[in-house]
């Protein structure tokens, strides 16, 4: 198994999008990219911890490639809005890829460069590409939030 970590706004919908992919063996929502150890939802919502709401994805590289996960990441959010996705705004909702090794970093940067050249988006991509650091699991009620409610997305 391998691990990937993505932030693309509210983690509920992001997690559900990744859970649907063949080869994804588990997902965990949580907080990463900030400075507060063991951050909680209440702390992250203040915007003072520096953390992003993120999804840690465990996957089988024999069934789904990291490149395919990155493609799904870009298909499921707007990477051109700084610190905002839909109605949610703040640094905790930023677009970010937290890479776990040099190969993931290279693939993430290559994907961004390819998307920029394709002009699929009308504005520049603002997705951060940063090394993965400590990941703090979110409270249990956030885990598989949409699946527990029988919802496919935040907007259904």
**Could you list the active site residues?**
10
What does the alpha-carbon distance between residue 110 and residue 145 come to, in Å, rounded to a whole number? Answer: 32
Secondary structure (DSSP) of 136-156 = EEPPGGGTTHHHHTT-SSTT-
3-class SS at 128? strand
3-class SS at 71? helix
Q: Tell which residue, 62, 84, 64, has the closest CA to residue 20.
A: 64
């Amino acid at each position: 198994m391998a691990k990937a970590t993505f932030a693309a706004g509210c983690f509920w919908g992001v997690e559900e999008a990744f859970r649907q992919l063949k080869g994804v063996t588990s997902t965990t929502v949580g907080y990463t990219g900030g400075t507060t150890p063991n951050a909680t939802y209440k702390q992250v919502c203040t915007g003072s911890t520096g953390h992003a709401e993120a999804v840690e994805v465990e996957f089988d590289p024999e069934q789904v490639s990291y490149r395919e996960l990155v493609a799904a990441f870009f298909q499921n959010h707007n990477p051109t809005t700084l610190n905002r996705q839909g109605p949610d705004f703040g640094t905790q909702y930023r677009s970010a890829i937290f890479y776990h090794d040099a190969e993931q970093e290279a693939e993430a940067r290559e994907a961004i460069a390819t998307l920029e050249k394709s002009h699929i988006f009308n504005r520049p991509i603002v997705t951060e590409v940063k090394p993965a650091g400590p990941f703090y699991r979110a409270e249990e009620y956030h885990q598989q939030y949409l699946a527990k409610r029988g919802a496919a997305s935040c907007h259904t």
